[in-house]
A and B are shown apart, each in its own frame.
Chain A
Amino acid sequence: MQTYIAKRLLLVLPTLFLVTTVTFLLVRAMPGDVLMARLAESGLLGSSAGGFNDAEREALRERLGLNDPLPIQYVKWVGGIATGDFGESLWNNQPVAEVIGNALPATLQLGVMALALAWLLALPLGIISAVRRNTVRDYAARFITIGGIVLPDFWVGVIVILLLSKVWNYFPPLLFVGLFDDPRANLEKLIIPALILGFRLSAIGARMTRSAMLEVLGSDYIRTAWAKGLNERSVVMRHALRNSVLPVITVLGAQLSILIGGTVIMETLFVIPGMGRLAITSVTARDFPLIQANVLVLSVFVVFANLLVDISYGFVDPRIRYS
C-alpha cells in the first residue's frame, strides 16, 4: 500500500508542474494588460492629452514586475507560492493570498454541502432504481435524474428564485456571513444553491449507482446470496452495494469539475463571495495574479482530490494496489 501511495504521489509532481506552467502562460496571453485598464479606470487614459506619459507607465510596469522576462516572472511566481506569497492584486494591492483566503471558505462550504446533499439523494435513488428495475419507482427515479442532467443549473437557479419570491414571497438573504459568525444566516444563504447544485450532481451519481448496481446484481455471488436465503436488505446493502462502490467513487472524482463550474454559476446567481465569483471578477478586471492564484488553487485542489480518489481505490479494492 505504501509503495502504491508513493507512486501516486510521484505522478502528481509533473501534473502540478504542467498545471502551474499552463496557468502562468494562459494568463500572460491575455490582451490589454491591466495597466491599460487601470489607467482608463482612473481617468488618466485618453481623458486629456498628456494625462499620462510613457515614463509613468514604464515606472508602473517596472514596479509590478511586468518588464521581467517570462521565465523570471514564472520562477518568481512559483517561488512566491512555495512561501505562501501569491503576489498582490494589481488593482488594490491587497495580497492575493488574503483575497483567496477570504473567498475560499464560502466555496468550500457550498461544495461540501452540495456534494453531501447530492449523495444523500443519489444513493437511495440509484439503489431503488436498480433493485426495482423497470417499475414505476425506477421510472420515477430516472425521470428525476434526467431532469438534473438536462436542465442547466443557472436556469434551475433562476426559476427557483422566481418561484420562491412569487409563490412563497421568500427572498434569500442578500448578505453572506461566515458559518462561525452566524450559522443560521449562513446556512439560510447557502442551502438553496447547495440544493440546486446537489440536485444536478445527484443525477449523475444516481445513474452511475444504478448501472453499477445492475451489473453487480446480475452476478453469480448475488444469486448465491439469494439462494442461501438472505433477506433483501442484506443482499442489497451488504453484498451488492459494497461491490458497486468503485465506479461510484470514480464519478465522485469526475464530479469535482462540474461542482466547481456549478459554484461559479451559483455564486454569481446568489451573490456569494466565493472563488467562482472571484474568478469572474478577476477575469473581467484582468487581475493577473488573482486569476493565476484562483485557477491554480482550484486545479491543485482537483489534482489532490483525484489523488485521494485513486488512493481510496487501493483501500477499497486490493487488486488495484498490485496492478
Chain B
Amino acid sequence: MLALWSAGLVRFARRQPVGAASGAVLVAVVLIAVFAPTVARYEPTQVFRGEALLPPSSSHWLGTDDVGRDVWARIIFGTRISVTVGLVPVTIAVLLGWLIGLTSGYFGGWFDLLVQRVIDAWIAFPTLILAITLAAVMKPGIQNVLIAITVIFIPGAVRVVRSVTLPLTESPFVEAARALGASHTRILLRHILPNTVAVVLIIGSISIAGAILTESGLSFLGIGIQPPTTSWGQMLSGSGRARLNDAPWIGIAPGVAIGIVVLAANLFGDALRDHLDPRLRGRDA
C-alpha cells in the first residue's frame, strides 16, 4: 500500500512538477502552523514597548506593527488559522456535499428535485453576505467562521458530485450490477462512489483557496477571527490599516502570505485536476 502510494506520488511529481512544488509549499505551511512557536521567535501578542512601527531588521524580520508586536510572529501564527480554515470547513463541506450529491443524483425523483431547489436557493445567497449574516447570528469568532465557510461550500460540492453521479447511474456497469441483483447500498458504495473520488478531491483542493480568501475577507471586515487570535485578514483591519502610510510592511506581509498560500492551493488543485481527469488534460493550466 505504501509502495503504491509513493509510486503514485512520484508519477504525479513527474507529470505535474509545478503542482508537486505547490503541494510541497502547502505541506510546508502545515508544518509551519504546527511548529509555529519555534518558527515565530516571539509570541504573536507580545508587545515590545517603545518598538512600535519599526521597519524590518535582524531582530524583527518583518518589522513591528502599530502597537509594537512582531509582524513575522503574527504572520507565522496566522498560518494556524489559514490551515484550519483551509482544511476543516472544506473537508466537512465536501463530505456533506458528496453524500447529498451522490444520493440525489442516484435516486433522482422527488428527492433530487427537492435537493435541486434547495441548492438553487442556497446558491442565490451571495457567499460573503451569507457569511456575514451567519457570523453575526453566531457572534464573531473562529468557530463561527468555520461554520459559515462550511455552509458556503456545500452547494457547490453537491452540484459537482451530482453532475458526475447522473451519467454514472445510467452507465452499463451500474445497469449490469443492478441486473445481478445488487442492492442500492452496494451499487452506491462499490460502483458509483469510487468513480466520484477524483472529482471530490479536485473540488476539495480548489475550495481551499476560496476558504482562505473568505476567512481573510471576513476578518478584514472585523466579523471573522477576533483578537487576540491572529489572522492574516485581521492584520489589515482597524489600526493596522491606518498606519500603512508610515509602516507599509504591516500591510504588505499578510497580503504576500495570503497570495503565496492561495497561489499554491490553486496550482495544486489545477494540477490534481489535470492528473486525475485525463479528459481535461492540457486544456487549462
A residues at B contact (CB < 8 Å): 11, 14-16, 18-19, 22, 26-27, 29-31, 146, 149-156, 158-159, 162, 165-166, 207, 210-211, 214-215, 256-258, 260-261, 264-265, 268, 279-280, 283-284, 286, 291, 294-295, 298-300, 302-303, 306
Q: Is the CB of B251 within 8 A of A155?
A: yes
0 or 1 for each of B20-54: is its CB under 8 Å from A? (1 = yes): 00000000000000000000000000000000000
Interface SS, A side = helix
Cα A154 to Cα B241 in complex, Å, equals 11
Taking the nearest CB of chain B, how far is it from the CB of A286, in angstroms?
Answer: 8
Find out whether the CB atom of B125 lies under 8 angstroms from the CB atom of A19.
Answer: yes
Output the least CB separation between B247 and chain A (Å).
11
* Contacts A152-B258, A211-B283, A283-B223; A11 near B120 (Cβ below 8 A): yes
Chain B neighbourhood of A306, CB < 8 A: 124
> Across the interface, do A26 and B137 meet the contact criterion of CB distance under 8 Å?
yes
Among B67-121, those with CB < 8 Å from A are 117-118, 120-121
Write 23 A-B pairs (CB below 8 A) sorted by A numbering.
Answer: A11-B117, A16-B121, A18-B118, A18-B120, A19-B121, A19-B125, A149-B262, A152-B213, A152-B216, A154-B236, A155-B216, A159-B252, A214-B284, A257-B126, A261-B127, A261-B217, A265-B217, A280-B132, A280-B221, A283-B223, A298-B129, A302-B123, A302-B124
In the complex, A149→B206 CA distance in Å? 12
Asked if B128 is an interface residue, CB under 8 A from chain A, the answer is yes
Residue B133, interface by CB 8 Å: yes
Q: Is A18's CB under 8 angstroms from B245's CB? A: no
The CA-CA distance from A166 to B216 in the complex, in Å, is 25
Q: Which of A146, A284, A291, A303 contacts B124 (CB 8 A)?
A: A303
Tally of B interface residues using CB under 8 Å: 43
Residues of A within 8 A of B138 (CB): 31
Residue pair A207, B128 in contact (C-beta under 8 Å): no
CB distance from A111 to the nearest CB of B (A): 11
Q: A15-B117, A159-B252, A211-B283 are in contact. Are A299 and B126 (CB under 8 A)?
A: yes
Interface of B is mostly: helix
* Cα distance, A162 to B242, chains bound together (Å): 10
Give the complex CA separation of A158 and B251 in angstroms: 8
- Tell me if B283 and A29 are in contact (CB < 8 A): no
- Which chain A residues lie closer than 8 Å to B209 at the CB level? 149-150
A210-B217 CB under 8 A given contacts A15-B120, A152-B233, A256-B126: no
Candidates B236, B248, B263; contact of A150 at CB < 8 Å:
B263
Are A155 and B129 in contact, CB atoms less than 8 angstroms apart? no
Which of B133, B236, B252 touches A291 (beta carbons < 8 Å)?
B133
Q: Collect the chain B residues with CB atoms within 8 Å of residue A149's CB.
A: 209, 262, 266
Known A19-B121, A302-B124: A155·B254 in contact at CB below 8 Å: yes
Interface residues of B in 203-255 (CB under 8 A from A): 209, 213, 216-217, 220-221, 223, 233, 236, 241, 244-245, 248, 251-252, 254-255
Bound: A32/B129 CA distance, A: 20
> A284 to chain B: which residues have CB within 8 Å?
136
In the bound complex, CA of A27 to CA of B118 (Å): 18
> Contacting B125 at CB < 8 Å: which of A14, A207, A215, A295?
A295
Determine if A159 and B133 form an interchain contact, defined as CB atoms under 8 angstroms apart: no
Residues of B within 8 A of A257 (CB): 123, 126-128
Residues of A within 8 A of B117 (CB): 11, 14-15, 18
Question: Within 8 Å of chain A (Cβ to Cβ): is B259?
Answer: yes
Q: What is the CB-to-nearest-CB distance from B235 to chain A, in angstroms, rounded to a whole number?
A: 10
Chain A residue nearest in CB terms to B117? A14
CB of A299 within 8 A of CB of B221, answer: no
Q: Which of A153, A260, A300 contacts B129 (CB 8 A)?
A: A260
With a CB–CB cut-off of 8 A, which chain B residues contact A151?
255, 258-259, 262
Given known pairs A22-B121, A166-B245, the reply for A150 and B255 (CB within 8 Å) is no
A162 to chain B, nearest CB (A): 5
Report how far A211 CA is from B120 CA in the complex, Å: 26
Are B262 and A264 in contact, with the CB atoms below 8 A? no
Chain A residues near B266 (CB-CB < 8 A):
146, 149-150
Q: Are B217's CB and A30's CB within 8 A?
A: no
CB atoms of B128 and A154 under 8 A apart: no
CB distance from A174 to the nearest CB of B (A): 15
Residues of B within 8 A of A14 (CB): 117, 120-121
Instruction: List B contacts of A153 (CB < 8 A).
Output: 217
Q: Which of A29, A162, A256, A279 contacts B244 (CB 8 A)?
A: A162
Q: Which A residue's beta carbon lies closest to that of B156?
A: A254
CB atoms of B251 and A159 under 8 A apart: yes
CB proximity of A117 to chain B, nearest CB, Å = 20
Residue of A149, A261, A265, A280 ringed by the most chain B CB atoms within 10 A: A261
> Known: A146-B263, A154-B233. Contact between A283 and B126, CB under 8 A?
no
Q: In the bound complex, what is the Cα–Cα distance between A306 and B122 (angstroms)?
A: 13
Contact of A265 with B220 in the complex, beta carbons under 8 Å: yes
A214 to B132, CA, bound (A): 38
Q: Enumerate the 3 nearest inter-chain pairs by beta-carbon distance, A residue then B residue, closest first.
A: A261-B128, A18-B121, A211-B284
Q: Is there a chain A Cβ closer than 8 Å to B13's Cβ?
A: no
B139 within 8 A of A: yes
**What separation, in Å, do the CA atoms of A257 and B130 have in the docked complex?**
10
User: Which residues of B have CB within 8 Å of A264?
Assistant: 128-129, 132, 221
Chain B nearest CB from A125 CB (Å) reads 13
The answer to whether B217 and A283 have CB atoms under 8 Å apart is no
Instruction: Report yes or no: B124 in contact with A260, Cβ–Cβ below 8 A.
Output: no
